[in-house]
Amino acid sequence: MANRLAVIGGDAGGMSAATQARRLDPSLEIVAFEKTEWTSYSACGIPYLVSGEIGTLEQLVARSPQEHRDQSHIDVRIHHEVMGVDLPGGRLEVRDHVRGRTIQVPFDMLLLGMGARPIRPDLPGIDLPIVHGVQTLHDAAQLLRYAERSRCSDVVVVGGGYIGLELAEAFIEREARVMVVERDPHVMSTLDGDMAALIEESMRKLGIELRLNTEIIGFDEDAVVTRDGRISADLVIVGIGVEPNSELARDAGIELGVRRSVRVDRRQRTSAPNVWAAGDCVESFHLVSHRPVYVALGTIANRHGRVAGINIGGGYAAFPGIVGTAVTRICATEVGRTGLNEREARDAGFEFVTAIVDSTTTASYFQHAQKITVKLLAERRSGRIIGAQIVGGRGAGKRIDVAAAAITAGMDAGQLVDLDFGYAPPVSPLWDPIASTARVILSDL
């Protein structure tokens, strides 16, 4: 009889593992449970759905349940919610929301891919209908329906992280008045303040109002209540980060790690035999800080899933760890970051020097030249690059990948100066902006 793999969660982590396992082991029986109707979708695309840059929700679905069934012979059950994991019995308790019944599903191997949910602060009014969180396509559908039904002329975004800022911009595209309320002195806590200030500048240019250093204490039916007074709103989006859906694992006695995410070994195995985990419910290892970190990103979820799937399918793969790369585009400004920012570097115990250099995306004399600002952090003494941040015009964001490669390879500032960067006037200044910044670091060391 074939082994049965059960997968909890039909998005990136779960389905990339399932697909990869199928490739290696055609005899494996694979069943996947997804509580919504969607599988393998791009949650990262939701802001662009709101802005109208993407036409339909369906475009965000990389692989539908039917495609998974047809192409990979995975028995995908949508509207099925796993309620409990019985490890000793090797069984899942699954609620079938369509038929309104609960079933018991035996498994030989289990993949945890429950993902994450938006953090909902425990504040008065958090459950009012104007308050939304956005993580799943289900959330997106609700938000779109709400936005179409209501006027949504006053949108307040609580929290200045990636998804919050992307949605702020999206509602500007929908001609709303948009305010972002952030508790800290700057938006984008993954960047240092000096770099985040550049984003704030471009947000204000687009007409987004910013309230920094402002704490929310509750929500009304038509307002956000802060320590400094009420801000009227007909739509509130809370984007203060996500937390792992790890309760099923915890209740089954599986070990949790940083921020209650599921702890895994190099092969994505949890503390329980024959149980793997992948995606936004799982911790990762940071190659620079040498610490476990919780980072919920689609890229990492897919890479977790690939590794878990290879191992489940009988192959061998080890997850190499991350360096914390992230990019986005906020108001025509692109942002990239990798490695550690100043706070993270201090927390990890590093002494370091920093340099910030303004340059241009193309040769400065070129008519399309746009500003690009690069910040580098290098360890004192060794000169090893431990962090990079980029803010700039079109094409600036993805240049962070070069820094990610350099950090992964353990390059020092001198090696980055010496790197054989490509140059042509329409795409770069003669000294690449990253190399220019490394030169300043080198002279400071």
Chain residues binding a second copy by CB under 8 A are 12, 42, 44-45, 48, 53-54, 59-60, 62, 162, 297-300, 302-303, 319-320, 322-329, 334, 336, 338, 363, 365-367, 394-395, 397-402, 404-406, 408-409, 411, 415, 418-428, 430-432
Burial classification of residue 125, based on how many CB atoms lie within 10 Å of its CB (0-12 exposed, 13-18 middle, 19 or more buried): middle
**Which of 90/292 has CB closer to a second copy?**
292
**Which of 373/428 has CB closer to a second copy?**
428
Provide, rounded to whole angstroms, the least separation between the CB of residue 402 and a second copy: 5
Say if strands 275-277 and 242-244 run parallel, antiparallel, or are unpaired.
Answer: unpaired
Cα separation, 420 vs 401, in Å, equals: 15
Provide, rounded to whole angstroms, the least separation between the CB of residue 257 and a second copy: 19
Provide, rounded to whole angstroms, the least separation between the CB of residue 48 and a second copy: 6
Provide, rounded to whole angstroms, the least separation between the CB of residue 427 and a second copy: 5
Tell me the torsion sign for CA atoms 343, 346, 350, 353: positive
Q: Considering 44, 152, 281, 331, which one is annotated as catalytic?
A: 44
**Which of 154/379 has CB closer to a second copy?**
379
CA angle 383, 299, 167 (to 5 degrees): 100
**Which of 6/45 has CB closer to a second copy?**
45
Cα separation, 98 vs 100, in Å, equals: 6
**Which of 101/316 has CB closer to a second copy?**
316
**Which of 228/423 has CB closer to a second copy?**
423
H/E stretch holding 165 = helix 162-173
Provide, rounded to whole angstroms, the least separation between the CB of residue 136 and a second copy: 16
Which tokens go with 300? Answer: 């990492």
CA 8 to chain centre: 20
Provide, rounded to whole angstroms, the least separation between the CB of residue 101 and a second copy: 35
- The dihedral region occupied by 266, where left means phi > 0, alpha psi between -120 and 50, and beta the remainder, is alpha
Q: Which of 255, 301, 308, 250 minimizes the C-alpha distance to 111?
A: 308
What is 315-356 written as a DSSP string?
-------B---EEEEETTEEEEEEE--HHHHHHTT--EEEEE
- Helical ranges in 38-102 per DSSP H: 46-51, 65-72
Q: Is position 331 annotated as part of the catalytic site?
A: no
Cα separation, 249 vs 253, in Å, equals: 6
Catalytic residues, by residue number, are 44
